[in-house]
């Protein structure tokens, strides 16, 4: 294997140490810990695991978390009522509504009710818009984690060709905007991109956020590229990325594994956003 592994678990642990110290500084200055409220509606098994991991991560870094569980039959009015009460709660700095919401609830409309200054997922149109404008904002967690992992290589981002495969609002688009902010020359690819391989082959930095197991093969990668695999595809009880790791590792310079790459960073960036929101609100 030629590529060097970018260890998301290790980077995450280091960042969580820094977050813990900052959370203690916040507590000392303001007499309360930074607070995260999590709303979980319904009983989606994957969401249960994600939420449990978020709560555990809060506990281990000194962020106070409160979990609000709602039944799958919750009405939009009830859910919005809870969001608005968390918006008003002075001890809540970050508020997230775990997705997906139960069928029949309008995710877009519901997420728009989260106060932008507490929107630690970075999904609100105000934060997405500010990211586009290059203004200070709470940026989406997975894309922020991607940038941290690329920086971990020690290679410059400025002036590099970055190709993002995937244009979702939660990964692809914000990842592209953050790379642009770092002065990369950015190309976004999607399902209608013609001759995808000819584009990915130009990438010094390749971000795969497609949602298809082993979609990016070795022949699609420029020798020496930094390859960030965002994919989390469950197959026969195992987790696979969007990149064919065995092939890619022979060509890339750096690569993130799945699991243990981008995954651990997402929650870490959620903690970081909660802290950022807490300090900003306390000003
Ligand atoms: P979406 O399904 O929302 O988006 C997938 C994107 O891939 C779309 O833009 C789609 O294009 C594009 N795409 C699909 N097929 C092709 C193709 N044949 N060629 C080129 N592009 C294609 O997924 P997400 O962005 O939400 O997630 C992507 C992956 O990242 C998933 O595996 C998900 O599980 C994972 N993920 C991991 C996280 C983590 O913490 N590690 C967090 C969030 C997601 P089009 O727009 O044209 O349809």
Stretch 185-211: mean pLDDT:
98
Q: State residue 283's pLDDT score.
A: 84
Do 214 and 169 fall into the same domain?
yes
- Residue 283 maps to a domain: no
Q: State residue 107's pLDDT score.
A: 96
Do 146 and 258 fall into the same domain?
yes
**Is pLDDT of 116 > 80?**
yes
Domain count across the chain: 2
Q: State residue 73's pLDDT score.
A: 97
Q: State residue 231's pLDDT score.
A: 98
Stretch 5-10: mean pLDDT:
98
CATH code, domain carrying 87: 3.40.50.10860
Stretch 6-31: mean pLDDT:
98
CA distance 214 to 212: 6
The parent domain of residue 248 ranges over 141-263
Residues tagged active-site: 54, 98, 121
Ramachandran sector of residue 42 (left: φ over 0; alpha: ψ -120 to 50; beta: rest)? left
**pLDDT averaged over every residue in the chain:** 97
Do 106 and 147 fall into the same domain?
no
Q: State residue 23's pLDDT score.
A: 98
Looking only at the bridges linking them, the beta strands covering 238-240 and 233-235 are antiparallel
- Is the CB of residue 166 below 6 angstroms from any atom belonging to ligand 1? yes
CA of 207 to the centre of ligand 1 (A): 11
Do 111 and 146 fall into the same domain?
no
Do 73 and 150 fall into the same domain?
no
CA of 165 to the centre of ligand 1 (A): 8
- Is the CB of residue 261 below 6 angstroms from any atom belonging to ligand 1? no
- Residue 6 maps to a domain: no
Which protein residue has the closest C-alpha to ligand 1 atom 18? 191
- Residue 18 maps to a domain: no
Do 149 and 234 fall into the same domain?
yes
- Residue 279 maps to a domain: no
Do 153 and 255 fall into the same domain?
yes
Atom of ligand 1 nearest to the CA of 167: 9
Residue 248 binned pLDDT confidence (cut-offs 50, 70, 90)? very high
């Amino acid at each position: 294997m030629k590529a060097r592994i970018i260890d998301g678990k290790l980077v995450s642990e280091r960042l969580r140490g820094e977050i813990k110290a900052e959370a203690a500084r916040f507590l000392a200055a303001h007499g309360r810990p930074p607070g995260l409220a999590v709303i979980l509606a319904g009983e989606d098994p994957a969401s249960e695991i994600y939420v449990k991991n978020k709560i555990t991560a809060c506990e281990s870094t000194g962020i106070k978390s409160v979990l609000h569980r709602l039944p799958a039959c919750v009405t939009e009015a009830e859910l919005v009522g809870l969001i608005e009460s968390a918006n008003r709660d002075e001890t809540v700095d970050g508020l997230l509504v775990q997705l997906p919401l139960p069928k029949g609830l309008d995710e877009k409309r519901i997420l728009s009710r989260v106060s932008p200054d507490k929107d630690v997922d970075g999904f609100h149109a105000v934060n997405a818009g500010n990211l586009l404008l290059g203004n200070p904002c709470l940026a989406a967690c997975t894309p922020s984690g991607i940038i941290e992992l690329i920086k971990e290589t020690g290679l410059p981002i400025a002036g590099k060709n970055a190709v993002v495969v995937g244009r979702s609002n939660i990964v692809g688009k914000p990842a592209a905007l953050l790379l642009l902010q770092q002065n990369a020359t950015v190309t976004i690819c999607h399902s209608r991109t013609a001759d995808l391989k000819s584009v990915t082959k130009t990438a010094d930095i390749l971000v795969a956020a497609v949602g298809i197991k082993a979609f990016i093969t070795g022949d699609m990668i420029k020798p020496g590229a930094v390859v960030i695999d965002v994919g989390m595809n469950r197959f026969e009880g195992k987790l696979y990325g969007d990149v064919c790791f065995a092939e890619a590792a022979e060509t890339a310079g750096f690569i993130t594994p799945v699991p243990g790459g981008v995954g651990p960073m997402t929650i870490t960036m959620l903690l970081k956003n909660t802290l950022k929101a807490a300090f900003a609100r306390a000003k």
